[in-house]
Structure 1
């Protein structure tokens, strides 16, 4: 039995294309034998442009009018919460044997805590991911892949982990930390050689310790380059209690992708299936 896929996107995420479909994603999940999926749609308050700056430290009051914060953005749009929740209910009726969870992927929640909280207040969201796609550089929020053009690769990754630690310690709105080494997707291997987890062991461990102390789960993301058993073992050794599996699928065909391999990795690190087939894997 494959584990639940706790990180899936549909047409309600701003960065999906014409092939995204909540209904077709559910159908695909049933075909591949997943017990459950969570539609964790993007909730972002930046477009990573020249006009995007992190709010002043400690300013979490930006919650009065959430859509207005991104109204001027060309690409990033607020989620249609009413339509999204209606689609969830419709799919639950169509696929009664598949557990379908509502959720969001909150981008940079430590910078936009008030706004994320305002979104969560508008409905019942059963799975909340925290994610970091950017780093503060020269006072701006810069998307991780763009920094590789400006800085040495190891500096980009270490800056990312410093920001990730601030996210974990500075936000309490999320349950699962998504793709903990996101810049790895864009690592300039042609210039720098293969990405080596061991080069950043202390940075990984620091983030894992902070996450474990808050009793939250770490995601094994199968769209990112797969974590090694060694990396997942670091999570175990730092006190990590739970692992969530996420395909980060933006099209139906990628739901549950590489979960058979991911299960082997997590099991070898010391984690086992949880209370039931819908649960996180636990130590």
Structure 2
């Protein structure tokens, strides 16, 4: 069985639209699991009513009793699927996306050829149709930064350069249940940002690779660069970056990256000292967090 997972937080309309596009265009998806991450805004009731009205036996709606972030919410859905279905392949999809063609079949084909890998899609802007992300991004660990690969380039140009990302975006991430059994679930300590990057870097110890499948294409509402900047964003984004560095490069490297990242945040938010301070706190908090 092939299972798609979609995480919702206070965006029932977008999530339903996403699910309906998968059901319409991806026949190899046997079951869709929607996880409401404790929205407390009526989302779960809306999903339940929609599912009943449509008579959808191949959709399950779960209510996560707490909002424990991207990793926690998706892990909740993965555990439920493993216990209640017989999944062979999983596909995690962001709820603010949609498809207008079969985006899953190419991913499934790639996994059947080699299930010791993560595979991801090309992400296009729903507004302009331009390339937002060629599967993932490039990491600059010392600076605590990442850059989306191929943004505003053409697909043809990206395929000609054959440049590969350092990681795949969690916006569209497919993998086998067998791989999950080998590498385990995502680390829930991040709460937001870097979870899927950490997961993929952790998986390298098991010889797991990544692959962009350009035939698989999703449309994304808005910008993957997270246009809105808030104290919440700066704190959790910087915390995730330095915790990731501590885990994979060591504490001294993480401390150095916290200094660089704090300086970058101050320069970007010079006129907003409250935002800058949130970023600084997050950067050094990540250095002190426990890693395994």
TM-score normalised per structure 1: 0.28
Higher relative contact order (CA 8 A, sep 6+): 1
TM-score normalised per structure 2: 0.27
Give the helix-richer structure, 1 or 2.
Answer: 2
Give the strand-richer structure, 1 or 2.
Answer: 2
